[in-house]
Structure formats: structure tokens, C-alpha cells
């Protein structure tokens, strides 16, 4: 497996960003279609009630369903916003310490690993490609 380069990483990020944008558009289309179907179903039910003059055996009215759905959508958006706020917070000090210790161990073990690779006759990756830039200090 060839070593991951910055270009490969950048192209993967770009690819996944494009895919996420496509999925967001598809999601919006699905929501719009759902809304359209909900409205047409409501119109159909009202038309049936008007024709027969009786109330259909529905446990919830269309207005109650609409209110419930709007509340659920609001809750989802609020949760999404809170998660985004949480993701923007700096990392926990315990995590940063663990990360620092991990990369220190990797840096200290790298010469031994390279030596074992050479003894096994395996090709070593290009210099600097084994660790992320943040860990090369």
C-alpha cells in the first residue's frame, strides 16, 4: 500500500466533501417531497371527509401531526447546533496528553521499526510520511 501523501488526503477530503454536499441536496429534495405528500394526503383526507360528511377514524388530526413533526424537526436542528458547538470546543486536556504521549512513543519507536523493516528486507515509506504533521515536532 503506497504511503498516504498530503495530495491523496486532500483529494479524499475533497471527494467526501462533494459526496456530503450531494447527500445534503438529496436530503433537501426528500424533505420537500415528503412535505408535498403530507399536504396532498391532508387535502385528500379533507376531501373524503367533505364527501362523506363523516370523520375518518384517525387518532390524530393533521394539525396535531404537523405540530408534532415541526417540534421534532426543531429538536433535531437544536441538537445539530449543540453538537456543532461541542465540536468547536478545544480538546480535553486528558485527550491532548494521551495524544502527545502516543506520538512521543511513536517517535521513539520509529528507529526500531525502521531497523526491523530493513532486516526483513521491506521497503520503508518516504521520510515524514509515517506521521501526521501535527505529530512531527
pLDDT tens digit string along 81-119? 999 998 888 888 998 999 999 999 999 999 998 888 888
As given in the structure block, the three cell numbers for residue 135 are 505529530
Q: Is 12 left (phi over 0), alpha (psi -120 to 50) or beta?
A: alpha
For residues 14 and 127, which has the higher predicted lDDT (pLDDT)? Answer: 14
Question: For residue 4, what pLDDT is reported?
Answer: 53
CA 81/CA 74 separation, integer angstroms: 10
Distances (CA, A) of 123 to 75, 94, 107, 111, 120: 53, 36, 19, 14, 9
Going by C-alpha positions, the residue among 106, 51, 42, 95 that lies closest to residue 69 is: 42
Question: For residue 3, what pLDDT is reported?
Answer: 54
CA 90/CA 99 separation, integer angstroms: 14
CA 68/CA 74 separation, integer angstroms: 10
Question: For residue 12, what pLDDT is reported?
Answer: 83
pLDDT tens digit string along 13-58? 888 889 999 999 999 999 999 999 988 888 887 787 777 766 555 5
Residue 65, judged by CB atoms within 10 A of its CB (0-12, 13-18, 19+), counts as middle
Among 1-10, 97-106, 128-137, name the one with the lowest average pLDDT. Answer: 128-137
Residues 6+ away with beta carbon under 8 Å from 91: 99
Question: For residue 44, what pLDDT is reported?
Answer: 82
Q: What is the pLDDT confidence band of residue 62, given thresholds at 50, 70 and 90?
A: confident
Helix (H, G, I), strand (E, B) or coil at 55: coil
Amino acid at each position: 500500500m503506497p504511503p498516504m501523501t498530503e495530495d491523496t488526503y486532500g483529494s479524499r477530503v475533497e471527494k467526501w466533501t462533494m459526496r456530503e454536499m450531494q447527500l445534503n441536496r438529496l436530503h433537501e429534495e426528500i424533505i420537500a417531497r415528503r412535505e408535498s405528500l403530507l399536504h396532498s394526503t391532508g387535502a385528500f383526507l379533507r376531501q373524503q371527509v367533505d364527501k362523506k360528511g363523516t370523520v375518518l377514524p384517525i387518532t390524530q388530526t393533521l394539525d396535531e401531526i404537523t405540530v408534532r413533526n415541526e417540534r421534532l424537526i426543531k429538536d433535531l436542528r437544536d441538537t445539530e447546533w449543540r453538537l456543532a458547538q461541542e465540536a468547536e470546543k478545544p480538546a480535553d486536556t486528558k485527550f491532548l496528553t494521551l495524544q502527545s504521549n502516543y506520538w512521543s512513543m511513536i517517535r521513539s519507536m520509529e528507529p526500531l521499526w525502521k531497523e526491523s523493516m530493513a532486516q526483513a528486507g521491506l521497503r520503508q515509506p518516504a521520510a515524514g510520511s509515517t506521521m501526521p504533521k501535527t505529530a512531527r515536532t
